[in-house]
Structure 1
């Protein structure tokens, strides 16, 4: 880990030859009304403040808000493109054929148009296309690198086996996967493969979609609960009550230390290795500022071990997604 220039926020490398990014990135999906109403003017203010605080990795996707998220971020890029390590994704829908070379090219051109830029620093395949060999998809993505439209390649929700096949075609800088105290599955097979190949893990939903922040004490505390329940089984009433109770010791430990549960949850993730980059996505700048302190104030080893014991693998109740979403994960 190296210190960033002009900021106390440490930096990490995305892959052996990848870009240098802030140890905490920012997942922008929530700025497009996914979890609740978002105001574009306020969202842009948050994005500008992120850069002021030293966060330079901004993560979006063509599917977020059906293109709204990329168009929103274009407002930031018009003024501060050189300060942003920009990541976007394609191929998230259930339609077959999204991984074809033709769609790869159409998708990146559409994203570049919405973003108002001539290149993306990190371009992810959002979900594996079962109808297209990964070698064909990554081969087409590699052409975009040679043309200068894309800086580095990434994959999302991918298995170790598929990663190896992809990496043999073109170096993969990062794999984006859900990883948190609630979801430790990547530790079993994916992380060892990533480390063997020199690929970073970008951890989305690092705060368990808000439950690990400690601010949710009851079902009534969840914004847009019905929407979350439609998408995420962990928010079903019985599972959510279990998961809230699971966070109680974390809240108590955080209070005793004068820190927030989110800071401990993020600090634990950051301690898993310099190749792990969480991308929390709070819409409140006060939460962003608090989260950043997790990267500037590392946890000691004994506390990391204690937190690991509090959240053993598979401790959280509920699947990652409902059956249709699970079917689209490469496992």
Structure 2
């Protein structure tokens, strides 16, 4: 797998990482034995970037990662986590020094480390990006050795553009996939110009881009694809990338003929993301070893031909753009 610079941090990371939300919670039943095996398989295959958060299973995801890394020993992969969603209500006033330090200390304990590689503010309210003192707090935490770098995870392109005005924001995590393309219009170019790493999440539109779902697919009660279908629990853009389910299913059928020989729709979707050099790493989730290895195999696909890229753009413009483009 090819590596890419992780912004201006001095690190390089493999272009496909491991998104660890699904092994924590909110994606149906979690089997820890299988989750641990998935992490081991990915690391055995050379993966070196893992993304998690303190609220994924109330720390369960972080603790599973720590367990795997302890079992393996040796050089640790780059582990990014997030903080802020433990607030009962998302207000700027909640991002105090005391709260930030408390969340970070909890993640340090969960991950069994003395310094976080990357701490991301976890989709804070838009107003937070207009409070320089919040980013000053993060600078102080770096100076104190609690974390090496910090970044933000955003919902909206506008938030990403504002965040990278702060000189020490090392990374931005944002939704980008064949069904959510706006980030590439301006933000990707600005991030690259400023040396900010870009972490792409929800690359498969919550599984829509696996091609495995049908109109009658039933999701479990504790799966956000059921309980957040209309944004009942958090931003609806996190579920199916904000695309109405039936609209997404129809668009997937138009994408199927574009899949390269001996590849899968998942691999096409991931390789499409990697076609943009502004992307530092894409973090698909995996709950089994087979899923983890299939994700990594996408990096082995050759660059997609211009005809494929044009076809994806056309499907987006005709079927998806009206539903999502200006919302996020």
Q: TM-score range with shorter-chain normalisation? A: 0.7 to 0.9
CA RMSD of aligned residues (A): 2.8
Matched, 1:149 2:138: no
Match of 1:84 in 2: 77
**Structure-2 change in CA distance of 1:39 and 1:133 (3 Å):** same
Alignment map for 1:16-95 (pairs within 5 Å): 16-79=8-71, 80=73, 82-92=75-85, 93=87, 94-95=89-90
**Structure-2 change in CA distance of 1:193 and 1:74 (3 Å):** same
TM-score (norm 2): 0.85
8 Å CA contact 2:207, 2:240 repeated in 1: no
Measured against aligned partners, the alpha-carbon deviations of 1:1-57 in whole angstroms (never above 9, x if no partner) come to xxxxxxxx1111111234211100111000123111111122111111111111111
**Structure-2 change in CA distance of 1:317 and 1:62 (3 Å):** farther
8 Å CA contact 1:185, 1:313 repeated in 2: no
Matched, 1:245 2:250: yes
* Greater Cα offset, 154-163 or 117-126: 154-163
Supply the distance in 2 between the matched residues of 1:183 and 1:253 (Cα, whole angstroms).
18
Question: 1:61 offset after TM fit, Å?
Answer: 0.7
Question: 1:188 offset after TM fit, Å?
Answer: 3.0
Supply the distance in 2 between the matched residues of 1:203 and 1:276 (Cα, whole angstroms).
8
Alignment map for 1:137-286 (pairs within 5 Å): 137-157=134-154, 166-167=163-164, 169-220=166-217, 222=219, 224=223, 225-229=225-229, 231=231, 232=236, 239-254=244-259, 257-286=261-290
TM-score (norm 1): 0.84
Structure 1 counterpart SS, 2:102:
helix
Match of 1:115 in 2: 111
Structure 2 counterpart SS, 1:30:
coil
Aligned residues: 312
Supply the distance in 2 between the matched residues of 1:169 and 1:249 (Cα, whole angstroms).
41
Show structure 1 runs of 5+ residues with no match. Answer: 1-8, 321-325
Supply the distance in 2 between the matched residues of 1:81 and 1:181 (Cα, whole angstroms).
37
8 Å CA contact 2:247, 2:319 repeated in 1: no
8 Å CA contact 1:124, 1:153 repeated in 2: yes
Supply the distance in 1 between the matched residues of 2:192 and 2:298 (Cα, whole angstroms).
23
8 Å CA contact 1:251, 1:261 repeated in 2: yes
Comparing both chains, which one has the higher relative contact order based on Cα–Cα distances under 8 Å and sequence gaps of 6 or more? 2
Question: 1:197 offset after TM fit, Å?
Answer: 1.0
Match of 1:103 in 2: 99
